[in-house]
């Protein structure tokens, strides 16, 4: 660990990280609201969502999954063992990664029609397909930017600098919000795949990509502040990259399996919108599924990612030193902290999901019915939030021990269960319920996979007792259920069904605040220590160990 990670200023740095995460997520919500307000949730929106998802899909498929799983532990080890604090290794790793990503981007742009066909609905018209291909080509250059951002973020995290990567997405969000506003000003809110012009497509696609470019480039000056000015280094022979690549093989297979499952879900979701055309059902397809999922991971990003990011280098350090007891203690500590905050968040999101959907996505090019479907889907997703967050933390233990095979096998379990449930649920559900049905399959898959992951982790670490964490989780659930009920009651009492979406913001905010206050006060009364210790101090304590 760097000196910065153990200095007296750790608490302040942790608070800065939490603030950055909160602001980036908050502006991210505004971004998604602006985009839905501009393009709606119908087929045109799905073509944009598929195109804008492809850079992440292709990037993660080839190299993205390896960063957190493989490269961070390797960077931590080289920083500890190398005389130059890992500078030469990091330069070579960054350079090699960018070379791969540039080549990958060029190939992907040429293959854009094939990529759009793989992920898009087979029931799209020729015009729908053409628009999706254009969006895909405009957005694919984001691959390089995602790679640069993730690599620089991981290096900064390994050096104890957690703040900048948390704040950088804010700039991305601001650029995309501005792009959406400009699109509405020029094209209005009634655009379809048949009416959109090439210049309007370019505005939306290029503007989205510029946001990711900004997010990546803002981290470059921060590297200098760590005392490491990154330089291109093409001398890869005998650089020690071979071990990282060997470990990354299982991670590549992991991501490949994930994407196979994602293809099925995306095709089903985009088909839902086509089936809804010409019926009285509200528009709800891949965009609706995606936006509900983005809201679902918001508490995870603010709570779990902040906690886990802070201890990943520490877990790698304990694993490198063979300190299994210390690693196990850190894991149990962070799992308890996660459950303390995530379980109440899940209960409140479940209770307020439909209202949140209508507030955020019930106006502009969308409508109240479409916003309601997004909200119902969000409520369904919320049931997976504890499993999603705890599973995320458990995976970091395997990665810290340079075990990439187990996460691959767990990913197979996750996707097999998800797809096996999604297919029958989707086709048996009514048109209005098809997207929530996909979320229900997702929930079941995560709980099953968490149980399997926990059993494997117990066997590997030894002494990873289930009872204390389960007892604590049940206590949190006992607080969270009445908190969710209170939030639901207040939200319904204060809201008027005829109110516009934005007017309903205040009742929903009051209801959520009341639910959270119930949990905090109740937690303090019954003596749950996470509610007597500031969140930033929890992170700071974890990082100093």
Q: What is the 3-state secondary structure (H, E, C) of 153-189?
A: HHHHHHCCCCHHHHHHHHHHHHHHHHHHHHHHHHHCC
Average pLDDT over the chain, rounded to an integer: 81
pLDDT category at 519 given cuts 50, 70, 90 is: very high
Given a contact cutoff of 8 angstroms between Cβ atoms, the answer to whether 473 and 413 are in contact is no
Distances (CA, A) of 30 to 36, 48, 172, 202: 10, 18, 12, 22
Count the residues in the chain. 545
Lookup: tokens for 351: 């209770």
Least confident range of 82-86, 379-383, 411-415, 538-542: 538-542
Local confidence band at 487 (pLDDT 50, 70, 90 cut-offs): very high
Residue 3, pLDDT > 50, answer: no
Tell me the range of 93-97, 113-117, 282-286 where mean pLDDT is highest.
113-117
pLDDT digits (tens, 9 = 90+) for 118-174: 888 888 989 999 999 999 999 988 888 888 887 777 777 666 666 677 788 899 999
pLDDT of residue 228: 59
pLDDT of the residue at 241:
55
64-78, pLDDT tens digit by residue?
555 555 566 666 666
| Res 310 pLDDT > 70 | no
**Whole-Å CA distances, 275 to 50, 120, 190, 293, 431:** 18, 14, 20, 21, 7
Answer yes or no: are the C-beta atoms of 483 and 513 closer than 8 Å: no
Q: Are 36 and 361 in contact, with CB atoms under 8 Å apart? A: yes
- Most confident by average pLDDT, 82-91, 238-247, 281-290, 359-368: 281-290
- The pLDDT assigned to 42 comes to 83
Identify the three-state secondary structure at position 125. Answer: coil
CB under 8 Å, gap of 24 or more: what pairs does 242-246 form?
Answer: 243/74, 244/66, 244/70, 244/71, 244/74, 244/93
> Among candidates 337, 261, 307, 248, which has minimal Cα distance to 68?
248
Whether the predicted pLDDT of 1 surpasses 80? no
Mean pLDDT of 230-240: 65
First to last CA, the chain: 10
What's the number of CA atoms in the CB half-sphere (13 Å) around residue 196? 28
Torsion of CA 326, 330, 332, 333, to 10 degrees: 130
* Poorest-pLDDT segment among 177-191, 224-238, 289-303, 333-347: 224-238
| Dist CA 53 CA 43 (whole Å) | 15
Q: Is the pTM of this model over 0.85?
A: no
**DSSP 8-class letter at 229:** -
What six digits make up the tokens of 471? 């007892």
Distance (Å) of CA 289 to CA 32, 128, 421: 13, 19, 16
- Tokens 């050096």 sit at which residue? 159
- Find out whether 143 and 59 touch, Cβ atoms under 8 Å: yes
pLDDT confidence band for 329 (50 / 70 / 90): confident
Whether residue 9 has pLDDT greater than 60: no
The per-residue b/e assignment along 444-459, b for 16 or more CB within 10 angstroms, e otherwise, is bbbebbbebbbebbee
Closest C-alpha to 329, from 11, 541, 71, 530? 541
CA 456 – CA 489 distance, rounded (Å): 41
* Nearest residue to 40 (alpha-carbon basis) of 214, 277, 212, 330: 277
Answer yes or no: is pLDDT of 22 > 50: yes
Average pLDDT over residues 389-393: 92
Residue 455 has pLDDT above 70, yes or no: yes
Mean pLDDT of 197-224: 88
């Amino acid at each position: 660990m760097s000196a910065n990670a153990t200095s007296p200023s750790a608490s302040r740095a942790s608070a800065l990280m939490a603030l950055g995460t909160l602001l980036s997520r908050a502006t991210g919500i505004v971004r998604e609201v602006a985009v839905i307000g501009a393009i709606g949730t119908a087929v045109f929106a799905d073509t944009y969502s598929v195109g804008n998802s492809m850079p992440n899909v292709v990037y993660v498929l080839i190299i993205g999954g390896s960063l957190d799983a493989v490269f961070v532990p390797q960077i931590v080890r080289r920083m500890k063992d190398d005389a130059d604090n890992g500078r030469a290794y990091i330069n070579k790793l960054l350079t090699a990664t960018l070379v791969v990503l540039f080549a990958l981007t060029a190939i992907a742009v040429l293959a854009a029609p094939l990529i759009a066909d793989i992920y898009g609905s087979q029931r799209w018209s020729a015009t729908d397909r053409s628009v999706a291909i254009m969006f895909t080509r405009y957005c694919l250059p984001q691959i390089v930017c995602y790679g640069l951002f993730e690599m620089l973020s991981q290096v900064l995290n390994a050096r104890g600098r957690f703040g900048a990567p948390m704040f950088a997405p804010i700039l991305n969000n601001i650029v995309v919000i501005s792009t959406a506003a400009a699109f509405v000003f020029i094209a209005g809110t009634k655009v379809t795949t048949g009416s959109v012009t090439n210049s309007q497509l370019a505005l939306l696609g290029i503007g989205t990509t510029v946001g990711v470019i900004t997010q990546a480039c803002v981290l470059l000056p921060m590297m200098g502040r760590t005392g490491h000015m990154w330089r291109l280094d093409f001398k890869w022979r005998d650089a020690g990259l071979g071990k990282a690549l060997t470990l990354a093989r299982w991670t590549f297979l992991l991501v490949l399996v994930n994407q196979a499952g994602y293809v099925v879900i995306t095709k089903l979701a985009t088909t839902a919108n086509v089936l809804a055309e010409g019926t009285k059902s509200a528009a709800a397809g891949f965009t609706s599924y995606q936006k509900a999922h983005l809201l679902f991971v918001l508490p995870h990003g603010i709570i779990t990612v902040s906690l886990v990011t802070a201890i990943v280098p520490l877990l790698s350090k304990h694993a490198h030193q063979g300190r299994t007891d210390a690693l196990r203690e850190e894991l149990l500590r962070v799992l308890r902290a996660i459950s303390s905050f995530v379980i109440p968040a899940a209960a409140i999101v479940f209770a307020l999901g439909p209202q949140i959907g209508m507030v955020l996505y019930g106006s502009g090019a969308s409508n109240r019915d479409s916003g309601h479907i997004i909200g119902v889907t969000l409520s369904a997703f919320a049931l997976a939030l504890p499993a999603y967050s705890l599973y995320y933390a458990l995976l970091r233990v395997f990665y810290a021990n340079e075990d990439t095979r187990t996460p691959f096998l767990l990913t197979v379990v996750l996707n097999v269960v998800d797809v096996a449930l999604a297919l029958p649920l989707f086709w048996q559900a009514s048109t209005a319920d098809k997207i929530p049905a996909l979320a229900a399959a997702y929930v079941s898959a995560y709980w099953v996979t968490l149980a399997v992951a926990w059993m494997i982790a117990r066997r590997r670490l030894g002494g990873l007792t289930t009872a204390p964490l389960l007892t604590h989780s049940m206590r949190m659930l006992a607080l969270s259920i009445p908190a969710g009920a209170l939030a639901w009651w207040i939200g319904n009492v204060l809201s008027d069904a005829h109110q516009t979406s934005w007017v309903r913001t205040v009742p929903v905010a009051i209801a959520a605040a009341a639910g959270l206050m119930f949990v905090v006060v109740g937690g303090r009364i019954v003596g749950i220590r996470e509610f007597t210790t500031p969140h930033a101090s929890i992170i700071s304590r974890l990082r100093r160990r």
